[in-house]
Structure 1
């Protein structure tokens, strides 16, 4: 959610900080600010609204200094106002802090600090941190000790970066919220996410829970909260900085939809041998899952729909499987033991609810795997094993290429699990992998021939939009509806096809287009369900191959190539992504940064 950027080096830090904030806009925010240390103290400038408004406010009097911190805030405690924007300072303005997460004991800390004379100017939980640091400075502690003592008193989740007026040092700590250090010669960065500084360096160190980083012009020291040294090794990020730009596209979302052929090619590269019907997943050799009795997938949002896709495949292969919403896992999770495999699906690897479910499953003795896009993310470090989807950076809030890549990875993982558990996969592996190998080309075909833009115009202004599917078409219908509502702000719902007659048909009118996904699984039943809506006046749009019976009877048609039924839904999904995009574009929505939403949900 919120974004952090920090920089230490020669020259002025302001341009780097602003660039970092602009690079973090995709995470979602409602205010922004920077703090820069000059020769005499700390200068802070912050505003509710966009980073562009912050830039305009400092154009006439640029902030000078070689060290600074910046932040984009997503409101939790207190509304989006100038006062509640980060960075926050203490009453002396000698300590400045930016923070992601939630301080659960801030009310008690604020009360204690107020009793000792501290005055607060915001509604945020974050403001207690600089006051707490200053309190310990007033008690005689040195800067580093005051920071450590303050952080030690915090309860909840946090990624914190702080600077103190009398030295050129950044202090940082994390627990439950991501924080990464970037290094390039004599310049050092702190950020909540790599894209913040990717154009400056590709050498990073991911902080782990309980880590403290002390950053100055000479380097970075990594310790635990008590000051004991910890080893944290640099990694090289493979992303090209240009991947984080829009290029020729008007929106990141459209760019990322069109990047799906490349993302899928990267996902399967070196992992399949179609001519042998063989899957080669590093760290998942044959026999890895011999002891597994059942599989639980945990995820949220789009990742949950990918998890549901994987769960359907496993059940069809004869392996007991369930997809569970991670945010409900602590309430409704089925029993877990050492023969349970829990697969956490998370694009960022930092989704708070998914991490909580992963930890709960691990504590109960389950085997754990995470399917993620981010090397070094918390999920990747905490799960027993990791399956990277290799989709590259995704900036648009509405996930597109990561859904496709997650689903493809779950197809492969499901094949491996089924082979280990049952000795067979229930599918023709050579045919499936052959079709999988051609998926990048099939997606290119969809992108080149789509009529989604015309259909978006045809059905603009409808009262509601329904999406239906059966089997593997059901999670695709859910995902299609989610994409549509996310970026158009129009009412959209996804249903299992057979559920239409159990209530939703009451809402069907001629002003309610129904988008029906046909994957080759019991298509006759889905067609019958769509016909029930059609007879009540609803226009039906079939997403299916050109020679499919549904294309002949539907009111309109979004065409997909004819492929293995395990993969057809992923091609239908591309058409639904395009439909949502063009519908939102016609409505002039903020497609890459839809209202009230954030890319990475790092608080529960």
Structure 2
């Protein structure tokens, strides 16, 4: 969702802010803006309800018209806003200023007591120019500066009055001082030979900084010649910096037409690298032992969206192999969930900042240990958990998760296999055989991609005019059907619903008419053929995804009798490779309909509000 970038550099900060904002675009946004201190000690603020490219044009035009005395300095802040509180209009775009125009702020998160604070500030004479909660922060800092001129102290006083979540950067136009603060919202600071930088996403500053320091809840930091760092109001040494998790080139498209295509294509490589990391430690149980978690009798997955589907695969594997009871908890519905004693919570979020997941953990009984499964080990979720598993998927720019889903499945599946070995529920020899089966996955996924590249374009053309789609599966195949439906819905803006195939005649069959597309994830269960026959008898257009003989075979062709079973995915985690043609179908249909596959409407990569 919203993104923050700030810079203190020796020359004009504007190019850094604009470049950083472009790297934050993938998070999703409705408006964008920057505020830069000028040489005369004023703030030049430019905002737009269009894209960063439009902001660039506005900034360039403003520079051409500005007198030399108003040249921009090396200090500035920028923001991409996802509208939650207040309509999409320029007045609600960040940065926001105080009454005097001295203070400018950018903010991610939600201020729960903003209405009360605003009412008090207005009674005291403060004039608001927007409808958003974030603006109260600028006026709180302004009010504090009226008592004491020190900006750092003013920010401490301001954040002490806030309830909710925030990652903020405050800029003082008079002297160029800059202070950052965070609580329950991600923010990192970094220093390099180019200068000091602040961002909500390390990827936005990776080109200029090889290391970074994440702010923890309650941290307040002033950037300058020497950083001043405090935690919960107490001065502390500056934490040791962490190496950036990826090279800046990892965010570039290369020869790919879009980030989604690139990230779908990276899945075999991601899987192979992950297996190299976990293969031995899975079979002997040491992965689980190393996490230091207590024994558990049940497992509860807490997640949203794609991560929830990955959690269903992980839970299904644990049930099938170890007979361990599991619960699947939609994070936003946690208030209606009661977990049994002895339950281990597995919280899954690719960003580690998913607000629904974090709030769910706040509401669950603290006696339940938490294992975090995330692609960001410096995230709020990772800090909140008792143990963390890194998905090692690398940066994912496309809003629709692809390689992070596969990585979550693989890391989670190998972890529960390791847990079963460590607890004596599964023999090490059986675990080794399962790991050997997973070793075939990179080849399976590469083959699935090659076949889909040949067949999907014509298939998408055939179903392009359909108003909606059904996706069917059984058992281990059902989470992949659900994931395929979600991808198609997100990217093409056509409705898509996933059901267990056995439920077809209990309701969804009423939706099937002449030509209705019905995508069936066929992992070898013979009962699926009854569902296919029911659909075809009513004129439905069936698309099968799975082994040899399906419309989109996700497995290499084998001719020797000894390997015929290889064409059916009988593993407890189901047909992971089937997700590739499902992703490619959703992408191709969206492209044919003229949709932006990297930035689907109304959605964000990091869902940091409930």
- TM class, shorter-length: over 0.9
Shift of 1:499: 1.3
Seen in structure 2, the aligned counterparts of structure 1 residues 142 and 559 have a Cα distance that, compared at 3 Å, is: closer
1:340 aligns with 2:343: yes
Within 5 Å, give how 1:296-315 maps onto structure 2: 296-315=300-319
Residue in structure 1 matched with residue 413 of structure 2 by the alignment: 411
Instruction: Determine if the alignment matches structure 1 residue 7 to structure 2 residue 7.
Output: yes
1:156-186 residue CA offsets vs partner (Å, 9 max, x unmatched): 1111111111223221111111111122135
Kept in 1, the 8 Å contact 2:31–2:47? The answer is: yes
Deviations 1:264-311 (A, max 9, x none): 12222231139xx825654x2289566211111100110000001111
Change (3 A) 1:434 1:132: same
Q: Return 5+ residue gaps in structure 1 as ranges.
A: none
- Is 1:600 the counterpart of 2:606? The answer is yes
Partner in structure 2 of residue 444 of structure 1? 446
Give the secondary structure class of the aligned counterpart of 1:239.
Answer: coil
Partner in structure 2 of residue 326 of structure 1: 331
The answer on whether the counterparts of 1:279 and 1:412 sit within 8 Å (CA) in structure 2 is: no
Structure 1 CA distance for aligned equivalents of residues 208 and 286 of structure 2: 33
**What residue number does 2:258 align with?**
251
Q: Which residue of 1 aligns with 2:74?
A: 66
The 8 Å contact of residues 189 and 212 in structure 2, kept in 1 or not, is answered as: yes
Specify the alignment match of 1:494 in structure 2. Answer: 498
Work out the CA distance in 2 between the residues paired with 1:126 and 1:6: 17
Give the C-alpha shift of residue 82 in structure 1: 0.7
1:103: Cα distance to partner?
A: 0.8
Conserved? CA contact 2:292–2:387, under 8 Å:
no
Q: Which residue of 1 aligns with 2:561?
A: none
Alignment-derived partner of residue 384 in structure 2: 382
TM-score, normalization: structure 1?
0.94
* 1:300-349 alpha-carbon deviations (Å, 9 max, x no partner): 110000001111111112011122111111x1222354x22111111001
Structure 2 residue 577 is the aligned partner of structure 1 residue 571: yes
2:235 counterpart (219, 223, 228): 228
Distance 1:59 1:185 in 2: 26
Q: Deviation at 1:449?
A: 2.2
In the TM superposition, residue 257 of structure 1 has moved relative to its aligned partner by: 0.3
Give the whole-Å Cα distance in 1 for the aligned partners of 2:324 and 2:429: 13
Write the mapping of 1:38-437 to structure 2, written as runs, cut at 5 A.
38-39=38-39, 40-62=41-63, 64-185=72-193, 187-216=195-224, 218-229=225-236, 231-273=238-280, 278-279=283-284, 282=287, 284-285=288-289, 291-317=295-321, 318-329=323-334, 331-337=335-341, 339-361=342-364, 363-421=365-423, 423-424=425-426, 428-437=430-439
CA distance in 2, matches of 1:437, 1:313: 17
Cα contact 2:285–2:422 (8 A) shared by 1: no
Which SS does the other structure have where 1:534 is aligned?
helix
Find 1:476's aligned residue among 446, 459, 480: 480
Change (3 A) 1:416 1:311: same
Separation in 2, partners of 1:152, 1:602: 21
Structure 2 contact 445–554 (Cα < 8 Å) conserved: no
What is the rounded CA distance, in whole Å, between the counterparts of 1:291 and 1:279 in structure 2? 17
CA contact (8 A) 1:488 1:589 kept: yes
Structure 1 residue 591 corresponds to structure 2 residue 597: yes
Question: TM (normalized to structure 2)?
Answer: 0.93
- Following TM superposition, by how much is the alpha carbon of 1:232 offset from its aligned partner in structure 2, in angstroms? 2.1
Residue 417 to residue 273, structure 1, CA distance change in 2 (3 Å): closer
2: CA distance, partners of 1:316 / 1:231: 48
Q: Choose 144-153 or 479-488, whichever is displaced more.
A: 144-153
Range with greater deviation from structure 2 (371-380 or 557-566): 557-566
Structure 2 contact 445–580 (Cα < 8 Å) conserved: yes
Q: Do residues 461 (structure 1) and 439 (structure 2) align? A: no
Q: Residue 259 and residue 281 in structure 1: after superposition, are their counterparts in 2 closer, same or farther (change >3 A)?
A: farther
3-state DSSP of counterpart to 1:285 = helix
Aligned residue number for residue 31 of structure 1: 31
Counterpart in the other structure of 1:560: 555
Q: Deviations over 1:453-476 (max 9, x none)?
A: 221112111121111111111111
Residue 536 of structure 2 corresponds to 534
Partner of 2:67: none
Measure, in 2, the Cα distance between the counterparts of 1:447 and 1:37.
50
Q: Secondary structure at the match of 2:110?
A: strand
Q: In 1, Cα distance between the equivalents of 2:477 and 2:93?
A: 43
Closer, same or farther: CA 382–506 of 1 in aligned 2, 3 Å: same
Deviation at 1:261, TM superposition (A): 1.2
Unmatched tracts of structure 2, length 5 or more:
64-70, 557-566
| Residues 351 and 600, structure 1, Cα contact 8 Å, conserved in 2 | yes
Equivalent pairs counted in the alignment come to: 588
* Kept in 1: contact 2:34–2:95 (CA 8 A): yes
Query: How far, CA to CA, are the matches of 2:429 and 2:500 in structure 1?
Result: 23
CA RMSD of aligned residues (A): 1.9
Q: Does 458-467 or 300-309 show the bigger shift?
A: 458-467
Q: What CA distance in whole angstroms lies between the structure 1 residues aligned with 2:164 and 2:425?
A: 45
What secondary structure is seen at the aligned counterpart in 1 of 2:604?
A: coil
Q: Provide the rounded CA distance (Å) in 2 between the counterparts of 1:355 and 1:279.
A: 32
Classify the secondary structure of the residue corresponding to 1:319.
coil
Q: Answer yes or no: is the 8 Å Cα contact 2:268–2:441 preserved in 1.
A: yes
Q: Distance in 2 between matches of 1:245 and 1:425?
A: 44
The alpha-carbon distance between structure 1 residues 61 and 287, as it changes in their structure 2 partners (threshold 3 A), is closer
In structure 2, the CA distance between the partners of 1:452 and 1:427, relative to structure 1 (3 Å rule), is farther
